[in-house]
Structure 1
Amino acid sequence: MFDILMYLFENFIHSETEIRVDQDELTDELVRAGFHHDEIYKALSWLEKLAALQESDTHPYLANASTSALTRIYTQEEQMRLDVECRGFLMFLEQINVLDASTREMVLDRVMEIDTSEFCLEDLKWVVLMVLFNVPGKENAYAQMEELLFEEPEGLLH
Protein backbone atom coordinates (compact mmCIF):
# COMPACT_ATOMS: atom_id res chain seq x y z
CA MET A 1 0.00 0.00 0.00
CA PHE A 2 2.80 2.44 0.87
CA ASP A 3 4.37 1.84 -2.55
CA ILE A 4 1.12 2.95 -4.17
CA LEU A 5 1.01 6.10 -2.04
CA MET A 6 4.59 6.87 -3.07
CA TYR A 7 3.77 6.21 -6.73
CA LEU A 8 0.74 8.50 -6.62
CA PHE A 9 2.62 11.23 -4.78
CA GLU A 10 5.63 11.17 -7.07
CA ASN A 11 3.72 10.83 -10.35
CA PHE A 12 0.70 13.00 -9.75
CA ILE A 13 0.77 15.14 -6.66
CA HIS A 14 4.43 16.11 -6.31
CA SER A 15 4.86 16.65 -10.06
CA GLU A 16 1.78 18.91 -9.98
CA THR A 17 0.10 16.85 -12.67
CA GLU A 18 -3.66 17.22 -12.59
CA ILE A 19 -5.09 14.29 -10.68
CA ARG A 20 -7.85 12.39 -12.40
CA VAL A 21 -11.04 12.43 -10.41
CA ASP A 22 -12.26 9.21 -12.00
CA GLN A 23 -11.31 6.52 -9.50
CA ASP A 24 -11.83 3.73 -12.08
CA GLU A 25 -9.30 5.27 -14.48
CA LEU A 26 -6.83 5.78 -11.66
CA THR A 27 -7.32 2.19 -10.49
CA ASP A 28 -6.78 0.90 -14.04
CA GLU A 29 -3.58 2.91 -14.33
CA LEU A 30 -2.30 1.57 -11.01
CA VAL A 31 -3.12 -2.00 -12.08
CA ARG A 32 -1.17 -1.41 -15.30
CA ALA A 33 1.71 -0.15 -13.14
CA GLY A 34 1.70 -3.55 -11.40
CA PHE A 35 -0.26 -2.91 -8.21
CA HIS A 36 -2.97 -5.23 -6.85
CA HIS A 37 -6.61 -4.13 -6.51
CA ASP A 38 -6.86 -4.64 -2.73
CA GLU A 39 -3.76 -2.53 -2.11
CA ILE A 40 -5.02 0.14 -4.50
CA TYR A 41 -8.31 0.46 -2.62
CA LYS A 42 -6.46 0.68 0.71
CA ALA A 43 -4.22 3.44 -0.65
CA LEU A 44 -7.13 5.41 -2.11
CA SER A 45 -9.02 5.08 1.17
CA TRP A 46 -5.90 6.29 3.03
CA LEU A 47 -5.81 9.40 0.81
CA GLU A 48 -9.53 10.06 1.28
CA LYS A 49 -9.08 9.90 5.06
CA LEU A 50 -6.13 12.28 4.80
CA ALA A 51 -8.32 14.79 2.97
CA ALA A 52 -11.01 14.37 5.63
CA LEU A 53 -8.54 15.18 8.43
CA GLN A 54 -8.39 18.79 7.27
CA GLU A 55 -11.71 19.28 9.03
CA SER A 56 -10.97 19.56 12.75
CA ASP A 57 -14.25 17.84 13.65
CA THR A 58 -13.12 14.56 12.07
CA HIS A 59 -10.17 13.96 14.39
CA PRO A 60 -10.70 14.18 18.16
CA TYR A 61 -7.21 15.53 18.93
CA LEU A 62 -7.20 18.39 16.45
CA ALA A 63 -9.78 20.51 18.24
CA ASN A 64 -7.62 20.54 21.40
CA ALA A 65 -4.27 20.78 19.64
CA SER A 66 -3.99 24.56 19.49
CA THR A 67 -1.22 24.85 22.09
CA SER A 68 2.28 24.40 20.79
CA ALA A 69 3.61 23.32 24.21
CA LEU A 70 1.72 20.04 24.24
CA THR A 71 3.75 16.98 25.20
CA ARG A 72 2.84 13.90 23.20
CA ILE A 73 2.65 10.60 25.02
CA TYR A 74 2.72 7.78 22.48
CA THR A 75 0.48 4.75 22.86
CA GLN A 76 2.00 1.29 22.92
CA GLU A 77 0.81 0.69 19.34
CA GLU A 78 2.37 3.96 18.18
CA GLN A 79 5.64 3.06 19.91
CA MET A 80 5.65 -0.29 18.16
CA ARG A 81 5.18 1.40 14.76
CA LEU A 82 7.44 4.41 15.38
CA ASP A 83 10.85 3.62 16.80
CA VAL A 84 12.81 6.10 18.93
CA GLU A 85 14.42 7.60 15.84
CA CYS A 86 11.01 8.30 14.27
CA ARG A 87 9.58 9.79 17.46
CA GLY A 88 12.68 11.94 17.87
CA PHE A 89 12.32 13.15 14.28
CA LEU A 90 8.70 14.16 14.93
CA MET A 91 9.86 16.12 17.99
CA PHE A 92 12.58 17.77 15.90
CA LEU A 93 10.01 18.76 13.26
CA GLU A 94 7.88 20.37 15.96
CA GLN A 95 10.88 22.22 17.39
CA ILE A 96 11.73 23.74 14.00
CA ASN A 97 8.05 24.54 13.36
CA VAL A 98 7.57 22.21 10.41
CA LEU A 99 4.83 20.44 12.37
CA ASP A 100 2.46 21.83 14.94
CA ALA A 101 0.32 19.76 17.29
CA SER A 102 -2.50 19.34 14.78
CA THR A 103 -0.31 18.36 11.82
CA ARG A 104 1.63 16.00 14.10
CA GLU A 105 -1.62 14.27 14.98
CA MET A 106 -2.57 14.09 11.30
CA VAL A 107 0.80 12.45 10.59
CA LEU A 108 0.32 9.97 13.43
CA ASP A 109 -3.19 9.17 12.28
CA ARG A 110 -1.97 8.44 8.75
CA VAL A 111 1.08 6.46 9.96
CA MET A 112 -1.10 4.19 12.06
CA GLU A 113 -3.37 3.52 9.07
CA ILE A 114 -0.55 2.27 6.85
CA ASP A 115 -0.82 -1.46 6.40
CA THR A 116 2.81 -2.56 6.78
CA SER A 117 4.88 -4.66 9.13
CA GLU A 118 7.98 -2.50 8.66
CA PHE A 119 8.03 1.26 8.97
CA CYS A 120 11.19 3.37 9.00
CA LEU A 121 12.29 6.98 9.24
CA GLU A 122 12.30 7.42 5.45
CA ASP A 123 8.67 6.25 5.32
CA LEU A 124 7.78 8.72 8.06
CA LYS A 125 9.38 11.57 6.15
CA TRP A 126 7.21 10.79 3.11
CA VAL A 127 4.05 10.62 5.23
CA VAL A 128 4.91 14.02 6.74
CA LEU A 129 5.43 15.42 3.26
CA MET A 130 2.09 14.02 2.04
CA VAL A 131 0.24 15.43 5.05
CA LEU A 132 1.80 18.88 4.73
CA PHE A 133 1.04 18.96 1.01
CA ASN A 134 -2.65 18.43 1.80
CA VAL A 135 -2.99 21.05 4.55
CA PRO A 136 -3.81 24.57 3.33
CA GLY A 137 -1.50 27.24 4.71
CA LYS A 138 1.40 24.85 5.31
CA GLU A 139 3.31 25.67 2.12
CA ASN A 140 6.41 26.89 3.99
CA ALA A 141 6.41 23.82 6.24
CA TYR A 142 6.05 21.64 3.14
CA ALA A 143 9.02 23.37 1.49
CA GLN A 144 11.11 22.90 4.65
CA MET A 145 10.18 19.23 4.81
CA GLU A 146 10.96 18.79 1.14
CA GLU A 147 14.43 20.23 1.78
CA LEU A 148 14.93 17.83 4.68
CA LEU A 149 13.85 14.89 2.55
CA PHE A 150 15.91 15.66 -0.52
CA GLU A 151 18.96 17.40 0.93
CA GLU A 152 22.30 15.91 -0.01
CA PRO A 153 24.94 15.77 2.72
CA GLU A 154 27.84 18.06 1.96
CA GLY A 155 31.49 17.26 2.58
CA LEU A 156 32.98 14.05 3.83
CA LEU A 157 30.94 11.65 5.89
CA HIS A 158 32.79 10.18 8.85
Structure 2
Amino acid sequence: MFEVLVFVYENYWRGDACPELHQLERKLSAHGFEPDEIHEALVWLDGLNSAAQNILLPAPSQAEWAPQPSDASMRVFSVAEQDHLGADCLGFISFLESAGVLPAALREIVVDRAMAAPGDPVPLDALKIIVLMVYWRFGHEPDALILDELCGDAEERLAH
Protein backbone atom coordinates (compact mmCIF):
# COMPACT_ATOMS: atom_id res chain seq x y z
CA MET A 1 0.00 0.00 0.00
CA PHE A 2 2.73 2.49 0.92
CA GLU A 3 4.52 2.03 -2.41
CA VAL A 4 1.29 3.06 -4.14
CA LEU A 5 0.90 6.09 -1.84
CA VAL A 6 4.49 7.18 -2.54
CA PHE A 7 3.82 6.86 -6.28
CA VAL A 8 0.70 9.03 -5.96
CA TYR A 9 2.60 11.60 -3.89
CA GLU A 10 5.46 11.77 -6.39
CA ASN A 11 3.25 11.95 -9.49
CA TYR A 12 0.52 14.39 -8.49
CA TRP A 13 1.51 17.86 -7.36
CA ARG A 14 -1.32 18.22 -4.81
CA GLY A 15 -4.28 16.27 -3.57
CA ASP A 16 -6.64 18.32 -5.71
CA ALA A 17 -4.55 17.48 -8.82
CA CYS A 18 -5.07 13.77 -8.27
CA PRO A 19 -7.67 12.15 -10.57
CA GLU A 20 -10.86 10.59 -9.24
CA LEU A 21 -10.25 7.29 -7.49
CA HIS A 22 -11.64 5.08 -10.30
CA GLN A 23 -9.41 6.82 -12.86
CA LEU A 24 -6.45 6.66 -10.47
CA GLU A 25 -7.06 2.93 -10.10
CA ARG A 26 -6.66 2.44 -13.85
CA LYS A 27 -3.46 4.52 -13.92
CA LEU A 28 -1.98 2.58 -11.00
CA SER A 29 -2.86 -0.71 -12.65
CA ALA A 30 -1.20 0.45 -15.87
CA HIS A 31 1.97 1.20 -13.88
CA GLY A 32 2.07 -2.41 -12.68
CA PHE A 33 0.84 -2.24 -9.10
CA GLU A 34 -0.93 -5.30 -7.76
CA PRO A 35 -4.76 -5.08 -7.54
CA ASP A 36 -4.73 -5.74 -3.77
CA GLU A 37 -2.20 -2.95 -3.15
CA ILE A 38 -4.20 -0.57 -5.33
CA HIS A 39 -7.45 -1.38 -3.56
CA GLU A 40 -5.92 -0.96 -0.11
CA ALA A 41 -4.34 2.38 -1.09
CA LEU A 42 -7.56 3.68 -2.67
CA VAL A 43 -9.59 2.78 0.41
CA TRP A 44 -6.97 4.57 2.52
CA LEU A 45 -7.03 7.65 0.22
CA ASP A 46 -10.83 7.71 0.34
CA GLY A 47 -10.59 7.71 4.13
CA LEU A 48 -8.10 10.58 3.92
CA ASN A 49 -10.51 12.55 1.75
CA SER A 50 -13.35 11.87 4.19
CA ALA A 51 -11.25 12.87 7.20
CA ALA A 52 -10.14 16.08 5.45
CA GLN A 53 -13.65 17.28 4.64
CA ASN A 54 -14.75 20.40 6.47
CA ILE A 55 -11.22 21.12 7.72
CA LEU A 56 -10.06 24.64 6.95
CA LEU A 57 -6.44 25.36 7.67
CA PRO A 58 -4.63 28.68 7.64
CA ALA A 59 -1.70 29.22 5.32
CA PRO A 60 1.17 27.00 6.50
CA SER A 61 3.42 29.75 7.81
CA GLN A 62 5.23 28.91 11.03
CA ALA A 63 3.52 31.77 12.88
CA GLU A 64 0.04 30.55 12.01
CA TRP A 65 0.73 26.87 12.62
CA ALA A 66 2.63 27.38 15.84
CA PRO A 67 0.77 26.27 18.96
CA GLN A 68 -1.62 28.93 20.19
CA PRO A 69 -2.35 29.59 23.88
CA SER A 70 -5.71 27.89 23.45
CA ASP A 71 -3.85 24.88 22.04
CA ALA A 72 -2.11 24.29 25.36
CA SER A 73 -4.25 21.23 25.91
CA MET A 74 -2.63 17.83 25.87
CA ARG A 75 -3.58 14.97 23.54
CA VAL A 76 -3.98 11.72 25.45
CA PHE A 77 -3.70 8.66 23.23
CA SER A 78 -5.96 5.70 23.89
CA VAL A 79 -4.45 2.31 24.67
CA ALA A 80 -5.41 1.10 21.19
CA GLU A 81 -3.65 4.12 19.63
CA GLN A 82 -0.58 3.58 21.80
CA ASP A 83 -0.42 -0.09 20.84
CA HIS A 84 -0.99 0.47 17.11
CA LEU A 85 1.28 3.52 16.75
CA GLY A 86 4.07 2.47 19.09
CA ALA A 87 6.59 4.65 20.89
CA ASP A 88 8.54 5.71 17.77
CA CYS A 89 5.47 7.03 15.95
CA LEU A 90 4.06 8.74 19.04
CA GLY A 91 7.42 10.40 19.64
CA PHE A 92 7.61 11.56 16.03
CA ILE A 93 4.11 13.05 16.18
CA SER A 94 5.11 14.87 19.37
CA PHE A 95 8.27 16.13 17.65
CA LEU A 96 6.27 17.54 14.72
CA GLU A 97 3.81 19.23 17.07
CA SER A 98 6.53 20.78 19.21
CA ALA A 99 8.29 22.02 16.06
CA GLY A 100 5.09 23.88 15.17
CA VAL A 101 4.58 22.07 11.86
CA LEU A 102 1.68 19.81 12.78
CA PRO A 103 -1.38 21.69 14.03
CA ALA A 104 -3.95 19.79 16.10
CA ALA A 105 -6.37 19.34 13.18
CA LEU A 106 -3.68 17.74 11.02
CA ARG A 107 -2.43 15.66 13.94
CA GLU A 108 -5.88 14.13 14.32
CA ILE A 109 -6.00 13.26 10.63
CA VAL A 110 -2.51 11.75 10.84
CA VAL A 111 -3.57 9.63 13.83
CA ASP A 112 -6.81 8.61 12.08
CA ARG A 113 -4.98 7.53 8.94
CA ALA A 114 -2.22 5.80 10.92
CA MET A 115 -4.86 3.82 12.76
CA ALA A 116 -6.19 2.71 9.35
CA ALA A 117 -2.72 1.61 8.22
CA PRO A 118 -1.36 -1.92 8.46
CA GLY A 119 1.34 -2.83 10.93
CA ASP A 120 1.32 -3.42 14.63
CA PRO A 121 2.97 -1.16 15.54
CA VAL A 122 3.00 1.07 12.46
CA PRO A 123 6.60 1.45 11.27
CA LEU A 124 8.03 4.96 11.60
CA ASP A 125 8.78 5.09 7.85
CA ALA A 126 5.10 4.35 7.17
CA LEU A 127 4.03 7.14 9.53
CA LYS A 128 6.30 9.56 7.68
CA ILE A 129 4.55 8.65 4.43
CA ILE A 130 1.20 9.19 6.15
CA VAL A 131 2.30 12.66 7.31
CA LEU A 132 3.45 13.50 3.77
CA MET A 133 0.12 12.34 2.37
CA VAL A 134 -1.81 14.49 4.86
CA TYR A 135 0.26 17.54 3.89
CA TRP A 136 -0.24 16.60 0.23
CA ARG A 137 -4.01 16.34 0.64
CA PHE A 138 -4.15 19.90 1.96
CA GLY A 139 -1.76 21.24 -0.68
CA HIS A 140 0.96 22.15 1.82
CA GLU A 141 4.61 21.34 1.36
CA PRO A 142 6.58 21.16 4.59
CA ASP A 143 9.64 23.35 4.89
CA ALA A 144 12.98 21.90 3.76
CA LEU A 145 14.12 20.69 7.19
CA ILE A 146 10.87 18.88 7.93
CA LEU A 147 10.76 17.48 4.40
CA ASP A 148 14.30 16.16 4.94
CA GLU A 149 13.18 14.57 8.22
CA LEU A 150 10.20 12.96 6.48
CA CYS A 151 12.05 11.77 3.37
CA GLY A 152 15.66 11.34 4.41
CA ASP A 153 17.19 8.17 5.79
CA ALA A 154 18.24 8.94 9.36
CA GLU A 155 20.89 6.20 9.27
CA GLU A 156 22.72 7.90 6.39
CA ARG A 157 23.05 11.24 8.19
CA LEU A 158 26.34 12.35 9.61
CA ALA A 159 26.45 13.99 13.02
CA HIS A 160 28.20 17.34 13.04
Instruction: Indicate the TM-score class for this superposition, using the shorter chain for normalisation.
Output: 0.7 to 0.9
Instruction: Report how far residue 131 of structure 1 moved.
Output: 0.5
Of 37, 52, 57, which residue of structure 2 is paired with 1:54?
52
Residue segments in structure 1 that go unaligned for 5+ positions in a row: 58-65
Tell me, yes or no, if the aligned pair for 2:4 and 2:38 is still in contact at 8 Å.
yes
Tell me, yes or no, if the aligned pair for 1:70 and 1:101 is still in contact at 8 Å.
no
The separation in 1 between residues aligned to 2:32 and 2:121, in whole angstroms, is 21
Write the deviation string for residues 8-47 of structure 1: whole angstroms up to 9, x where unpaired. 2123347x9x5334724x3233224333323312311221
Residues 129 and 94 of structure 1: is their aligned pair in 2 closer, same or farther, counting only changes over 3 Å? same
SS at match of 2:18: coil
**Which segment drifts farther, 76-85 or 32-41?**
32-41
Instruction: Report how far residue 81 of structure 1 moved.
Output: 1.6
Residue segments in structure 2 that go unaligned for 5+ positions in a row: 56-67
Q: TM-score under structure 1 normalisation?
A: 0.73
Q: Which runs of 4+ in 1 moved over 6 A?
A: none
**Percent of pairs identical after alignment?**
33
The separation in 2 between residues aligned to 1:93 and 1:21, in whole angstroms, is 30
**Which segment drifts farther, 4-13 or 87-96?**
4-13
SS at match of 1:74: coil
Counterpart residue number, 1:9: 9
Write the deviation string for residues 88-107 of structure 1: whole angstroms up to 9, x where unpaired. 11111111101111111010
Residues 48 and 69 of structure 1: is their aligned pair in 2 closer, same or farther, counting only changes over 3 Å? same
Tell me, yes or no, if the aligned pair for 1:94 and 1:100 is still in contact at 8 Å.
yes
The separation in 1 between residues aligned to 2:30 and 2:121, in whole angstroms, is 26
The separation in 2 between residues aligned to 1:155 and 1:37, in whole angstroms, is 42
The separation in 2 between residues aligned to 1:19 and 1:55, in whole angstroms, is 16
SS at match of 1:106: helix
Tell me, yes or no, if the aligned pair for 2:89 and 2:123 is still in contact at 8 Å.
yes
The separation in 2 between residues aligned to 1:4 and 1:101, in whole angstroms, is 27
The separation in 1 between residues aligned to 2:10 and 2:158, in whole angstroms, is 25
The aligned runs of 1:8-27 (5 Å cut-off) are 8-13=8-13, 19-21=18-20, 23-24=22-23, 26-27=24-25
